[in-house]
Chains A and B, each alone.
Chain A
C-alpha cells in the first residue's frame, strides 16, 4: 500500500520458506505439523516419499502464503454461516468491537476465506449504529502491516516467547512495591477484573493509564462540580442549541460515530415536519475543526481564552453568581456571547454546552453547571467505577516518571502504547525508562518504546485475538478473532496473567471465564473449549451459560448488558466558583501553540497506515504530514509564508515545524497535529511530518503559551489534494449549494435558482431508463460533516492503491470518492463546507463518448461501467470528465505490496494494473452480490436499502443514500423529489445519477446581520 511509494522493498513479512528442505527444518514447521497432522508428524518430517512432498506442499501453503487460512483453535460463531457449511469464496461476517483510546465501537467484520477484509459498524451496537469512523475503518490495514512487530526482543535482539516467559517468572515482585504498570485507557471488563486481582496480589503495585489524547478531564470536572466520580453521558440528538467550547465532537474528541449520528439526526430535513427539529451549533475554537465547519456560527478564540469565555457564559446565564462578565461591549466575542445566552435561554432543556477533553477540568465543570442550570436533558451523568492505585492522565505519568528516576521502580510493565514517543518531552520518559531494571513492553510495532525497553513482545491485533470492550455507558462486547495472530502476538490480558502468575494465560479462557462467571447457570473454571457439531449442540442445551456466551459472541453485544442507569447529581456553583478563583488566568499576548490529535494518524498509532496517511486532513487537505497551522493575519505579521520551516521554543523544549496558513485559525495561535515525526516506525510512517511531542510539556499539555518562533530559512513542501489559493473558494460557481432554512421555507425554489440551466435538447433520440432497477444516489450536504469515513471505507472496499506523498504531490491520488472543501466568506472569518464527490454516473456520460475502445460503457441499469481489461489508457475519459473523478494508474501502484499486505484486498474487486483508468462503480460488486442472493432466494425483488455502497454503509451521518430511482417508494427517489435536490453541472446535459441535497443552514438572525 503506502509502501509502493518507497522503492526500497526490503524483504519483510513472515519468513517464507524458500525450499521444501529448508522449510522442513524450521521449528515453526515442526510445531505446525504437530498441530496440523499429529498422526503423520513423523512420516512427514523424515522424508522424501511422494506423499510426503505433496503434504509438505499443502502444509507449506498453510504455513506461508495463507497462515491466515488457519482457523483459531477456539470456536467462534459467525453471524452468517457456521464454518462447518462454509462455502469457499463466500464472505462470512463476525461481530466484534474495537477500543480506540478507551472509546468502543461495535463492529461487524467481513472475512473472505479466513481473511478479515472489511470493517463495518454493528447496527445493534449503540455506539456504532452501523457506522464506523475513518480510523476504525483503517485499523484493518494495521492487521496486515508488514512492518508490525514480529518477534520477542530482548535488548533489541530476537529471542523466543519461552525465554520471555522464563524471565517473567524469574522476576521477584514481592509485594509489588517496585512493580508498576503503564497502559493505555483500559475499556475491557475482563482486564478490569484481572487488573483488580493483580493489584490485590501485589498490594504495593500501581497502575498508570496514559494516552497522548486522554479523555479524563470530564471526570476531573465532575469532581469539581459534583465532588463525585461520575462521567457525563451526552446525547446530541436531544439538543436544539449546541455550544461547543473548543469541542470537536464531530471530529477527534470521540473516537466513535455516535456524536455524529446524534447530531446529524437533527440535520436530515426531509419533510416539512423536520424543519422544526433542526439544531443550531455554535462553535468557539482555536483551530478550524470539522465541528467548526459544521457550525452555524463560529468564534475564533485561542484555546487558553476559552475557559474565560465559559466563565462569562456561565455568569451571563446567571449560573455562576458573584462573577462579573468580561464583556467589553461591541466586539465580535461579546455579540457572540450575547446571542448564545439568548439562544440557550430560549432552548432551555433542549440546549447543550459541550467542551473538549483538551480543555481543563474547570471548563468541564462550568459546562456541567450551565447545562444543569438550563435543565438540559442532553447531558446526564453516570457513576463511573474507580479502582484504587489506578491513576490516569499526564499527572499520573509524571508521578510515575518521578518514581522511575528515583529508582523506586524495579519492574515496569507497559501494556500497549508508545510512551517514549507520546509522553511530553519534559518528562524525558526514555531516560527514566533506562533506570528501570526490568521493563517489559507489549506493543504492535517495534516503535520508540520497544527500542528503549529491555523486553519487547508483539501485541496481537484486535482482529486476531480474544478480548472484550465496554462502552462508557456500560454496553459490553466480546472481541472475537477471525484469524490466528499473523505474527504470533499476544494480548495485554495474556501478558498480565503471565506476570501475575495466574493459571489461565490464554486470552480466550480469560475472557470466557470472566463472562461465564457473570452468566446465570455458569460453572466457574470452565475453560476447556468444546467441540463443534453434535457435542456442541448437546453442551449448549446442557448449559445456559454456554448458550449466553455463544449468543453474546454471535450478537456482538454481551447478552444482558444494557446502558447503566444515570445518577442524579447536582453541580455545586460555590465549589466551581472557588475553583475558578484559583484557576490561573490565560497568558496574554505571545504565540500559543495548541496540540490536537491528527485526523489521519491520531496520536501516532496509525502512522504506518498508508490509508490514513493518504486520507487528506478534512479541513486543510494536507496528506502525509502535519503543519504548524497559523492564521493568515499572524502569518503576515510574522512575515511567514506556506512551507517556511520555523523553530518553536518554550522553556527547554524546541521543535522544528513547517508553517501552513489556515484561514479561520485564531490569531497568534498555532495548531500542530500530534502523531507525526515518528523516528522508529514502519516504512510508511517513518520521519513523516513533525513531532509535536517535542514541544509538549506536562504543565502545558494541550496549550503551550508564549512560544518563541524563529525562522530557519529552510522550506518544506506540504502536499495537499486541493490546489491552494483560488481553489479554496468556489469562484461563485453553483457547485456546493446551501441556503438558510428560513429562506428555504419561504422559497423552496431558492436552490434551483442558484444556477441557470438552459432548455436542454439532444440531437439524438433520448434513451429512457424506465425499466428494471435504475441505480442512483443522493448525498445530503446538510448532514454530511466531512469526516472522511466514506473515503477510507471506499479505499478498503475497492482495493484502491495508496500512491505515496510524491505521487499525491503530482496529483495522482486514487480516492474514488473525495471530500471537496470550499471556504466561504473572508479569509479571517471563513466558513468551510464539505462535499463528498464520487462518480456522478452520468446518463449522458461525457467520458463514455470519447473512449476509442469502448472501455467505459453504460449498463441498462444506468451504471457507468469501467472495463479494466479493455482499457488501453488514453486518459481521454478523465480529461472529458467535468468532475475529474476518474483516476489513472500512472504506475504500478501495487508493486510494493507484500504477500501479507495483499491479504487485505477485497477478492470481489479487481486489483487494477498500471496503465488503466479506474473510478467509483457504485460498489457494483455489492449490487451483484445482492442480485445473486435475491435470485437464489426465489428470484425476489431487491428490497430498498438492501444494497448499501461502502461509503453509505459507514457514513456516521447517514448522508449518503443509494437505491433504485425507478421505484418511487425507494428512499433515494423520495429524497430526489425534494426541492433542495440538485444535479451538479446539470447545464451540460450529462444527467448525473448522483445528486445532492443542498445544505440547509440554521443561522441565528441576530448574528447574521
Chain B
C-alpha cells in the first residue's frame, strides 16, 4: 500500500496537501460515511429527481432490447455493407471509458500516485458500470441473441462444435469477460475495509447484518492487512497488463481484418491511448458532478483534477499523433484502397463525423497547455464532455467510413441510424448514470482507509525510522 510513503517536507510545500484542513481520522470517517448512512429524507431532492430520470431511461433501454430481440437486427440501421454500426461503436466506446477506473486504481497505484486515493473508488465503480453497458452490445448485436452463449467454450451437444480461436471476436470475449471479473474483484477487495467501518458504525440490525455480511468479518488485524496488501498489489499488478490488453484485443477486431481503414498495425497502442483519454474524461465529468452535488471539495481537490487534465492532454495528443500517422502510412503505402479510404474518411460523405472527431479529440484538449484553463472547473467540465463525444465519433468513423466504401464500388453504401439505434444508446447512458448514482449514495464513494493513510502520512504520524519503506 503506497500510503506508507512519507511526504518530503519540501515536496509538501510545492504540492498542496491532498487532504486539506488536516482533518482527524474520525473526521474522514464521518465525512464519507454520513453520505452513505444519511437518512433517505435528508438526501437532497436533486438526487432523487436525477435518479428518477435516469432510471426511466433504463426502462426505455429494456423496451428497445426486447423489441430488438423479438424482431431482429433489422430494426437497427445496419445493412450491407455496414454490418456493424452503432452497436459496435457503442461497445468500443463504453469499453474505452471502462479503462480509466482500473488504470487509476492499478497503474497510478503502482506508480505510487497518492492523489489517486480520493478518486480511485468511484473510478473503479465507473469501470464496472461502463463495462456492463458495453457488454450489452456484443450480446444483442448478434442475429440470434439466444445463441450468444455459443461464444463461450461450453460443450455443445447439438453440434459438438467449439469456438474458432483464430477469431479476434473470441479473443474479445475472453478479454472483456476477464476484465469485468477482475475489475469486480479488485473493486470489492478495495471496498472491504470501508464496509467494515460502516458495519462498526451501523445502527439498526438490518444495516448491521448487511454490512457484516459484505465486510466478510474484516477486523483490520495486522495479519489481515499483510495478506490484504499482498493481494491488492498482485491485483494491481495483473490489472495493469490486463487493462492494456483489453483494448488491444478490441482493436484486433479491426486490425486483423482485410478492410482498408481497419487493417492497421497502429491500432493497439492507439486504441489504448484513446481509451485512457475517454476514460479520464468520463471520470472527470462524474467527479465534477459528485463534487458539486455532494460537496467533496476537501477530498476531490483542484490538484486531483489538474493532474487528470494533464493526462487527458497527454493521451489526446497521442491520439492525434495516431490520426496523423494513419494518413501518412496510407499515403506512404501506395496502396490505392488505403489511400482512398483515408481520403474518403476526411472528405467523403462522413467528413462531418471525421472532423468533429479531430476537433474534439485533438484540437480542443490542447487548451490544457494553459494552467488557467486546466484549473477552471467549467472549462474542464465542457472539455470532459466534448472529449467523450469525440471519442464516440472516433469509433463510429473507424467502423462506418471503412465499411461503407471498401474494395468494390458496387457494394458501397451508407448508414442511417433508426430510432432504435438512438434509443438503445441513450438507454445505456441512462443505465450507466443510474448505477453510478446508486453507488454514490449507498456505498462509500471514497476509499476511507486509504484517505486515512494519506492523512497519517501528511501529519507525519509514522515513526521516523520506518520512513524509507519500499
Q: Which residues of A come within 8 Å of B, CB atoms?
A: 722-723, 726-733, 735, 807, 810-813, 818, 820-822, 835, 837, 846, 848-854, 867, 869-876, 878-880, 882-884, 886-892, 914-917, 985, 988, 990
Contacts and interface: CB of A to CB of B under 8 A. Distances in A.
Interface in B61-101: 71-74, 77-84
Given A730-B409, A879-B83, A812 B74 contact: yes
B440 interface: no
Contacts of A728: 409
B257 A846 contact: yes
A935 B379 CA distance: 78
A726 B348 CA distance: 11
B258 A852 contact: no
Contact of A871 (B79, B83, B143, B409): B143
A852 B172 CA distance: 10
Contacts of A915: 72-73, 142-144
B84 A879 contact: yes
A812 B169 contact: no
B410 A821 contact: yes
B350 interface: no
A876 B169 contact: yes
Counting from the closest, the 5 A-B pairs by CB-CB distance are: A873-B143, A915-B143, A875-B83, A890-B74, A884-B411
Contacts of B83: 875-876, 878-879, 888
Interface in B401-428: 403, 406-414, 416
A337 B308 CA distance: 78
Contacts of A873: 73, 142-144, 147
B227 interface: no
A872 B410 contact: no
17 contacts: A723-B414, A849-B166, A851-B164, A853-B161, A853-B164, A854-B162, A872-B142, A872-B150, A873-B73, A875-B84, A879-B257, A880-B257, A884-B80, A886-B80, A888-B80, A914-B72, A988-B258
B36 interface: no
Given A722-B410, A733-B409, A890-B72, A852 B80 contact: no
Contacts of A879: 81, 83-84, 257, 259, 403
B80 A887 contact: yes
Contacts of B79: 810-812, 890
A837 to B, nearest CB: 8
Interface string B162-198: 1110111110010000000000000000000000000
B163 A854 contact: yes
A881 to B, nearest CB: 9
Nearest to B76: A890
B280 to A, nearest CB: 30
A729 B84 contact: no
Chain A contact surface mostly: loop
A884 B81 contact: yes
A869 B159 contact: yes
A995 to B, nearest CB: 16
Nearest to A869: B159
Contact of A812 (B80, B143, B168): B80
Contacts of A812: 74, 79-80
A853 B257 contact: no
Contacts of A875: 73, 78, 83-84, 141, 143
B340 interface: yes
Given A873-B142, A884-B406, A852 B81 contact: no
Contacts of A837: 408, 410
A874 B407 contact: no
A869 B173 CA distance: 21
B148 interface: yes
Contacts of B78: 875, 890
Contacts of A851: 164, 167, 169
B168 A872 contact: no
Contacts of B170: 852
Interface of B: 71-74, 77-84, 141-144, 147-148, 150-151, 158-159, 161-164, 166-170, 173, 253, 256-259, 336-337, 340, 403, 406-414, 416
Nearest to B169: A852
A820 B74 contact: no
Given A837-B408, A888-B83, 11 more contacts: A810-B79, A811-B80, A822-B409, A822-B410, A849-B166, A876-B84, A878-B81, A879-B84, A882-B259, A888-B80, A916-B143
Nearest to A885: B411
B156 to A, nearest CB: 9
Nearest to B151: A852
Nearest to A734: B336
Contacts of A914: 72, 74, 143-144
Nearest to B399: A879
A850 B257 contact: yes
A874 B80 contact: no
Nearest to B407: A882
B408 A882 contact: yes
B407 to A, nearest CB: 5
Contact of A726 (B82, B258, B412): B412
A889 B81 CA distance: 13
A853 B163 contact: yes
Nearest to A913: B144
Contacts of B82: 811
Name the residue in A813, A869, A876 with the highest tally of chain B Cβ atoms < 10 Å from its Cβ.
A876
Nearest to B406: A882
A215 B84 CA distance: 50
Contact of A852 (B72, B163, B406): B163
Contacts of A807: 74
A723 B412 contact: yes
Given A851-B167, A874-B169, A876-B169, A820 B407 contact: no
A851 B83 CA distance: 13
Nearest to B168: A850
A874 B258 contact: no
Contact of A884 (B77, B408, B414): B408
B470 to A, nearest CB: 44
A784 B410 CA distance: 18
Contacts of A892: 72
Contacts of B73: 873, 875, 888, 890-891, 915
A735 B337 CA distance: 12
Name the residue in A835, A874, A990 with the highest tally of chain B Cβ atoms < 10 Å from its Cβ.
A874
Contacts of A887: 80
Nearest to A812: B79
B346 to A, nearest CB: 15
B167 to A, nearest CB: 4
Contacts of A735: 407-409
B95 to A, nearest CB: 16
Given A732-B336, A812-B79, A872-B150, A891 B74 contact: yes
B413 A723 contact: yes
A812 B143 CA distance: 14
Contacts of B167: 849-852, 876
Nearest to A854: B164
Contact of A882 (B77, B151, B258, B336): B258
Contacts of B151: 852-853, 872
A807 B418 CA distance: 13
A852 to B, nearest CB: 4
